[in-house]
Structure 1
C-alpha cells in the first residue's frame, strides 16, 4: 500500500515552512516549496491534497510563532527514521521549550553510542526542525550550526523567540 503525504505552506517569521503529513503524522518540515515529496521524502509516497490532515501542525506552528504554544502535540511519523538516528531525534523531541543542550548532553540523554560529533550530523539532517527542535542543541563554545532557513541566524532567532537568548541590541 502506498503511503500518502499532504503538504501545506505556513508563512512564519523565519520563512515559509512546508509541513509534510502522512496518515501517521508529521514526517517532514522544510523551508519553501523546494521540499517536494520526491526530493525530501523519497519514493513510495503519493502526494494528496488534504487540508484536514495538515490543519493541526499549521495551527500549532502559527501558535508557536505567536508565542502561544510551547509544546507541540502534532503526532510524529517516525517510520522514515531508524536506528540511532531515530533514538537521538526522539530524545531531542523531549528537550523543553526555552532550554538548550550541548551535542554531548544530547548524546548522553539519548543513551545511544553516537558521539557528540555524530549528533551534529544527525541534527543537520533532522527532517522535522522546530517541532523536533534541533535549534535547541548548541556547541559547548557557542551556538553551533543550523541547516534550516538562513542557517545560524535562524537558530539565533528561534532561541531568542523561546527566551533562551536575549535579543541583540543593535547600534543605530
Structure 2
C-alpha cells in the first residue's frame, strides 16, 4: 500500500492509501514513500488545514477506515462536527446509539485521526483522552488550532 509522510506541527505524520482511498493516518515517518496523486492531494490538504482548519473545510477525499459497522457509524458522525466545535461522548452516544464508553472505544480506534476528527470529542468533565502520539497534549493543540471552546475540568 502506498504511503506518504509529511512534516506537521505536531510531528511527522504518514498517510496510507488503498484503492484510491485514505485508510490510515499514523504518527511517525513511514519507511516507504510513494507520491500517488491521492496521497499528494491529501498531504497538500493537511498542510493547508494546519495553516487554517476552518478555511480548509472538510476533508474532500474518500476515506475507507477499517472497522466494525458501529465504529464506522461513530467515525461518520465525527466527520460531521465542524472545525472549531466539540461534542461530548454522551451527546455522540445519543446521536448514534451506544454509551459514552462505547463511543470512547470507537473514537480510540479511529485509524484516520485529524481527517476523522476524533479530537473534537470531549468529556463532560474535561478533555477526555486522545490516542495520538502526544496524547492529550496533541488533542489540546488541535482544538486550540481550530479555536474550539475548551472544556474546563470539573
Q: Would the TM-score normalized by the shorter structure come out above 0.5?
A: yes
Cα deviation digits, residues 93-144 of structure 1 (max 9, x gap): 111110000001111222x3x2101111111111000010000000001000
**Unaligned stretches of 5+ residues in structure 2:** none
Alignment of 1:14-93 (within 5 A): 14-33=10-29, 49-67=34-52, 68-78=55-65, 80-93=66-79
Instruction: Tell me the C-alpha RMSD between the 2 structures.
Output: 1.8
1:82 deviates by: 2.6
Do 1:6 and 1:53's aligned partners in 2 also have CA atoms closer than 8 Å? no
Mean alpha-carbon deviation: is it higher for 132-141 or for 65-74?
A: 65-74
- Residue aligning to 1:146: 130
1:109 paired with 2:95, answer: yes
Q: 1:99 aligns with which of 77, 81, 85?
A: 85
The alignment of Structure 1 onto Structure 2 pairs a total of residues equal to: 148
Q: How many angstroms does 1:165 deviate by? A: 4.2
Query: Which structure would you say has the larger Rg?
Result: 1
Partner of 1:119: 103
- Contact 2:5/2:33 (8 A) holds in 1: no
TM-score by length of 2: 0.88
Structure 1 Cα separation of the partners of residues 107 and 84 of structure 2: 18
List, as ranges, runs of 4+ consecutive aligned residues in structure 1 with deviation greater than 2 Å: 47-51
Question: TM-score, with normalisation over the residues of structure 1?
Answer: 0.79
Secondary structure of 1:8's aligned partner: strand
Q: Distance in 1 between matches of 2:27 and 2:86?
A: 22
Q: Please, which runs of 5 or more residues in structure 1 have no aligned partner?
A: 37-46, 167-172
More helix by share: 2
| Residue 10 of structure 1 pairs with residue 6 of structure 2 | yes
